[in-house]
Amino acid sequence: MPLPSTDGWLNIEKEFDKFWNFPNCVGAIDGKHIAIQCPPNSGSSYYNYKGHHSIILQAVVDANAKFIFIDVGDFGRNSDGGILKESNFGKLLDNNKLLLPPPRKIHEEVEDEFPFVFVADEAYPLKKNLMKPFARKQLTNPKRIYNYRQSRARRIVECAFGILTKRFNVFENKMLVNPEKATIITQAACVLHNLIMEKEHNLTDIHNEMETTSSRVNQQDIINKPTNRRPPRDAIDIREKFMKYFNSEKGSAPWQNVYTV
């Protein structure tokens, strides 16, 4: 999974805007618990909030449910935000080494420039290139619309996890191997997933999985505790700009109010 070039990020962005109506989005990020047997002498390191032992697959996914980045093998007890901070992807993001394009206008009649961003759930920190939803408490309608628009784009990573699990049934039950072997199996499955998605170009799997994820409440969003660290001012301002754009005549979608009533 080579690092996309600047042009590669632009191609990813075009598809996020086309399919999921989130301009300047270049990836959706989330974590998935890979169930494993209890490793000997591991204490509670691999024991997660779901009540079983696991390693974590943290993934960044494009608009077609293909993996752009994966970090595999972290302890199941660790939080998504903590894993991001220590991951290769997180370090590249924080050090501005992802080769992202510079900020740009997202509409010819809107003067503001917007950075290219990734989308994540409440468990991740808000950064200038990483958007998360507004807190669920005291949501205004504009914030609710923003959350829906972001959730619609972010669900593609859940879709990728769902397709991966159905395609390789080793993920349906806990792996009876040590964490190192489980890490290798997961990495190999993600590479094979990308190859199959590239070869088949099967949008039916994506749409079917999207229907599944959109028809149920996202329990992980509810269970995951939001990060309490105060975000930087520039990150807050960027999310506000996206919110205003999505609620404007130029940036709104005809269906967004139907789903946020």
What are the pLDDT digits (tens) for 115-163? 999 999 999 999 999 999 999 888 999 999 999 999 999 999 999 999 9
What is the reported pLDDT for 153? 95
What is the reported pLDDT for 227? 55
Q: What is the pLDDT of residues 176-198, one digit of tens each?
A: 999 999 999 999 999 999 999 99
Distance CA 196, CA 198 (A): 5
Cα-based angle 15, 17, 22 (whole degrees, multiple of 5): 130
**CA 124 to each of CA 155, 188, 198, 231: distance values in angstroms, whole numbers, following the listed order:** 15, 26, 29, 11
Confidence band of 258 (pLDDT split at 50, 70, 90) = confident
E strand residue ranges, 109-165: 113-114, 117-119, 130-131
Residue 35 predicted with pLDDT over 80: yes
Q: What is the pLDDT of residues 198-233, one digit of tens each?
A: 988 666 677 777 766 654 444 444 444 555 567 899
Q: What is the pLDDT of residues 71-128, one digit of tens each?
A: 998 888 888 888 999 899 999 999 999 999 999 999 988 889 999 999 999 999 999 9
Residue 34 predicted with pLDDT over 60: yes
What is the reported pLDDT for 118? 98
What is the reported pLDDT for 202? 66
Tokens of 42: 């591991």
96 backbone dihedrals φ, ψ, rounded to 5°: 55, 45
Mean pLDDT of 1-28: 96
Tokens of 159: 């879709």
Helix 141-167 / helix 203-214 crossing angle, nearest 10 deg: 130
Mean pLDDT of 159-177: 93
